[in-house]
């Protein structure tokens, strides 16, 4: 690395699990997104439907559990690919419901660990300022399986439709 150049590492700190596969998935997301977005710290909390339901009700006014929620730290900032070398900062927190991940993994025909990885990626991409439509290429390159892309595309389309109503 040239003298004076900052490292361009993104860091995902995962809480509430000792599962090596989930931690490995977080490291993979770090490595891949670091190349495109540079530095940033994200706290990822794996939680229950009960807690994520309470967060969803309190902060978004939705009285139901959800799969993932992202809370940016400070003022929202859009960081597009190619802007590496930005100062290290906390991008925010991502909460992933283990319960919803299990249900969705079964519905989508993928492993629990693959679904948790997709949900972590989804939350981090929101913290980076990407829309659902902008996220689609990241699912294809970061999460394995054709069924995963199909499930995500269907989910994004339904989420986009619910926003427009």
**HSE-CB of 73 using CA atoms within 13 angstroms:** 13
β-strands 90-97, 10-15 pairing: unpaired
Distance CA 82, CA 68 (A): 26
Which sequence spans correspond to the domains of the chain? 10-158
Of the two residues 106 and 80, the one the predictor is more confident about is 106
Q: Where are the alpha helices (DSSP H) in the chain?
A: 20-37, 49-55, 98-108, 112-127, 132-142, 146-164
Q: How confident is the model at residue 36, as a pLDDT?
A: 86
Q: How confident is the model at residue 35, as a pLDDT?
A: 85
Distance CA 139, CA 124 (A): 12
Mean pLDDT of 47-60: 97
Q: How confident is the model at residue 8, as a pLDDT?
A: 58
DSSP letter, residue 6: P
Q: Please check whether residue 127 is in contact with residue 72, taking contact to mean a CB–CB distance below 8 angstroms.
A: yes
Residue 153 pLDDT > 80, yes or no? Answer: no
Q: How confident is the model at residue 24, as a pLDDT?
A: 96
Give the lowest-confidence range in 80-84, 117-121, 157-161.
157-161
Residue 89 pLDDT > 70, yes or no? Answer: yes
Of the two residues 135 and 95, the one the predictor is more confident about is 95
**Element at 15 (helix H, strand E):** strand 10-15
Quote the mean pLDDT of the chain: 80
Q: How confident is the model at residue 39, as a pLDDT?
A: 84
Record: fold of 10-158 = Collagenase (Catalytic Domain) (3.40.390)
Q: How confident is the model at residue 86, as a pLDDT?
A: 45
């Amino acid at each position: 690395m040239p003298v004076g150049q900052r490292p361009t590492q993104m860091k995902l700190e995962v809480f509430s699990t000792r599962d090596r596969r989930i931690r490995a998935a977080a490291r993979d997301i770090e490595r891949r997104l670091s190349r495109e977005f540079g530095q940033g710290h994200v706290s990822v909390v794996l939680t229950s439907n009960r807690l994520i339901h309470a967060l969803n009700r309190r902060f978004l006014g939705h009285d139901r559990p959800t799969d993932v929620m992202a809370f940016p730290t400070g003022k929202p900032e859009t960081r597009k690919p190619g802007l590496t070398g930005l100062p290290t900062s906390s991008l925010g927190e991502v909460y992933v419901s283990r319960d919803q991940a299990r249900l969705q993994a079964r519905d989508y025909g993928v492993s629990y660990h693959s679904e948790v990885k997709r949900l972590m990626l989804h939350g981090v991409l929101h913290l980076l300022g990407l829309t659902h439509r902008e996220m689609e290429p990241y699912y294809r390159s970061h999460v394995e399986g054709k069924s995963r892309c199909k499930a995500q595309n269907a989910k994004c389309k339904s989420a986009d439709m619910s926003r427009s109503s």
